[in-house]
Every structure is written in C-alpha cells, then in structure tokens.
Amino acid sequence: MNSTLQQIDIEKFRKDFPILQQKVHGKPLVYLDNAATSQTPKIVIDAIQEYYLKYNSNVHRGVHRLSQLASEAYEETREIVQDFLNANSVQEVIFTKGTTDGINLLASSIGRGLIREGDEIIISAMEHHSNIVPWQIMCEDRGAKLRVIPINDDGEIIFEAFEGLLNERTKLVSIVHTSNSLGTVNPLREIIDLAHKKGVPVLVDGAQAVPHTKIDVQDLDCDFFVFSGHKVYGPTGVGVLYGKKAWLEKLPPYQGGGDMILNVTFEKTKFNELPYKFEAGTPNIADVIGLGVALNYVQKIGYDKISAWENELMWYARNRLQEIDGLRFIGNAKHRAGAISFVIENVHPHDIGTILDREGIAVRTGHHCTQPVMQRFKVPATTRASFAFYNTKEEIDQLINALHKVIEFFA
C-alpha cells in the first residue's frame, strides 16, 4: 500500500469537489487558499441538502419522527468527532460556530469562573487575532494580564522564554498548533508537559492542524482544543470545542437559553449536564451533520496519506519558489505544515494576488489576521499559498509561472 497519495488518487478525489472543476477568468481554477477555507466535497453538500429536504426539524425537543431523525444525525456527528479527536467521551465535545466562537466561549467562561485580578494568560506571538482579542477583552474585564511568548526569526517560539513566563499567577496557556501565516507547527507536547508540571491547563487552537494532521487529544494531553469545520472540508458556521470533562464541569456556562438547562424558575436555574450546558439555543443542525460527513471523508482517505502528500507538495513549492527573483519567505520553521508565506521585493502582495487571480490562481494576501506577526517581521502583508490534499505539483508549477509574469510586469 502506498504511504502517500498518487496522481491517480488525486484525480479521483478532485472529482468529489465540483467547485474545483470550474474556470476563473478563462483559466482552470488553482485553489491555493485552503488555510482560509477549504473546499467542500459533494457528499457534504448532499448531506446538508438531505437534511433540509427530508428531516429539517429541531433537535432534542420533539417526540415526532423528524425531530428524532435530526437529533440522531446531530448526535451521531458528536460520536464522529469523539472518534476523530480520540476524546474520552461525547460529553467532551461541544459544537460551536467555529474556532473563534470556541475561544470566545472559553475566554468568557474561564474569565468568570477562574480569573482573579493579577492572574495571567499566556499566548504566543504567532496567534491568530481570534486567539488574542478574546483574551485581551477578558483580561481587561478581570484585571488580568496577557503575556506573550516571543518568536525567533524563523517564526518558531522561543521555548526558554515560555519557561520564563510560566509562574504561579499563570491560569492558562492558549497556543496555536499550526500557524496560519507562518506555517510553523509548534512543539505542543513539550509546551503542554511544561505547563502541566506547573499545574496550568492548555488550550490548543487547532484550526490549521485538523486539515493536515491526525489529532489525538488524549495523546497530546491538551485540556481544550478548538477547530472550525470549514477548514477541514466541512461547512462554514460550525466548529468544535473539546474540553476535558473535569474542566468543563468546573466552568460556568457561556450563554443561557434553551437546551442548556434542566430546570428554570425565576429564582434559580439548574444547568443541563455536559455537553448541553455549553450549547444554548437551537444549534446549527444542518452544518453539524455536514461536519460529520466531512470528518468521515478525511478519515477514509487517511491522515498518513494526506500528511505525506501535503508535505511533499509544500517542500516542492518551497524549492520552486526560490527560483523567483527577490522572493523572501516569512517563516522558516523546520517543522511546518499547510501554508507558505512570502514577500517579493518591490511588489505589494495585493498586486501579486490580483495578477495571480487573472491567471485563475487563488492565494491569500494581507495580514492573515495575524497583525503582530507582520509587525514582528516588519512587513505590511504577505502572499500566502496554502495547500490541501487535492492540490497537485502541476498547480504549483502554474503558480511559479504566474509569479514569473508578476516579476516581468514589475521589472
């Protein structure tokens, strides 16, 4: 059996994604913006459509047939996620709107439940804004302090600095697994081990991890893990917060409303058990069902093959990009996945993005919601190419050809 994907597999898998078959500006679409949103296979779209066509109904409420079908499909996704992350129980799987929503949930809940004046939260200098701003808001509310692990010139965290930041006031470490703008994969085992030695829980932002890498939350031993459906071939508007049961039981609910209660009187409300305590109101039923189908789809292909192929693609792209005059990588971490960021001397990333678009190539340009990373590397923006298992070396060759055109144009 092959340990990576072969051309023949990729051609077959690409047929699962109708959107990839189209032309943009008369050229075949080359989609290299997967870190922003990956594409959705037809089976996921079909599952969502089937829900609306055949059993659209609210969950956990009705005794009627449609509601039972919807509840079963919704809860089946919870089991799929439990298996996907290797969580200990379905009670540890909370459905959210996405990574941002999961972090806001925790920041609010931990803030009210655990944080006192003078406490500290540690993040890193490569975080997405969604793992900075919720903590800033919470710290301001609670009189707590945000501490930031610096990164080196290659875009890797400085471990000794992390060690120096951990102290008896630290209440949480919240850190990205894989950086969306640098492509760095962080040494999470070491980070989590060290934090736990000091009794500090760790939240992992897994938004850019789950599309590329097999995650085992028990093996990682993280206390919380968040990800978004739309970056792992699922729909937008849905994501997951995993939390160790002991922590989730300790924390107060985030939002109040239907489904998160056992009993309500005007004097007092008794909250529901996990995971419903953290799922107030009617959830995004259709997209939760779609997420389950997407996760089954990737698991069927297999993370060993996905990771091996994407790694091959990424290093092929890094090698070929070095041909481009004046190109400089932003982020040179040795352990990396998913995304490559670069700048080209005297050409603004937005101009690069616009010219590539005319060639049918979709890349991301801008600060990638990591403005502190741009400040650290003293660039206003970068161009980012990010990969999925359905990308090919021919597509990377097309990117390189188009970049040569950019250089000619600005010469």
Among 80, 166, 192, 207, binds ligand PLP (CB under 6 A): 207
386 touching ligand PLP, by CB under 6 A: no
385 touching ligand PLP, by CB under 6 A: no
CA-based R_g, the chain, Å: 22
Q: Whole-angstrom Cα distance, residue 145 to residue 135? A: 9
**Please, what is the minimum distance in Å from the beta carbon of residue 47 to ligand PLP?**
20
Q: Which stretch binds ligand PLP (CB under 6 A): 54-62, 94-102, 354-362, 386-394?
A: 94-102
Q: Which stretch binds ligand PLP (CB under 6 A): 26-34, 56-64, 127-135, 341-349?
A: 127-135
Name which of 102 and 360 has its Cβ closer to ligand PLP. Answer: 102
Among 33, 40, 128, 276, binds ligand PLP (CB under 6 A): 128
124 touching ligand PLP, by CB under 6 A: no
71 touching ligand PLP, by CB under 6 A: no
212 touching ligand PLP, by CB under 6 A: no
Q: Which stretch binds ligand PLP (CB under 6 A): 60-68, 69-77, 128-136, 356-364?
A: 128-136
Q: Which stretch binds ligand PLP (CB under 6 A): 126-134, 157-165, 296-304, 342-350?
A: 126-134
Name which of 130 and 392 has its Cβ closer to ligand PLP. Answer: 130
Catalytic residue list contains 369: yes
Q: Whole-angstrom Cα distance, residue 99 to residue 130? A: 8
Q: Whole-angstrom Cα distance, residue 154 to residue 219? A: 27
Region 153-192 residues binding ligand PLP, contact defined as CB under 6 A:
176, 180
In single-letter form, the type of residue at position 48 comes to: I
Catalytic residue among 10, 146, 161, 369: 369
Q: How many CB atoms lie within 10 A of CB 54?
A: 11
**Please, what is the minimum distance in Å from the beta carbon of residue 182 to ligand PLP?**
10
Tokens of 250: 């300790």
| Interface characters, 226-245, with ligand PLP (x: CB under 6 A) | --x-----------------
**Please, what is the minimum distance in Å from the beta carbon of residue 208 to ligand PLP?**
5
Name which of 128 and 244 has its Cβ closer to ligand PLP. Answer: 128
Is the peptide bond preceding residue 211 cis, with omega within 30 degrees of 0?
Answer: no
Q: Which stretch binds ligand PLP (CB under 6 A): 81-89, 202-210, 281-289, 396-404?
A: 202-210
**Please, what is the minimum distance in Å from the beta carbon of residue 304 to ligand PLP?**
23
Q: Which residues are catalytic?
A: 369
Task: Give the residues lining the site for ligand PLP (CB under 6 A).
Answer: 98-100, 128, 130-131, 176, 180, 205, 207-208, 228, 369
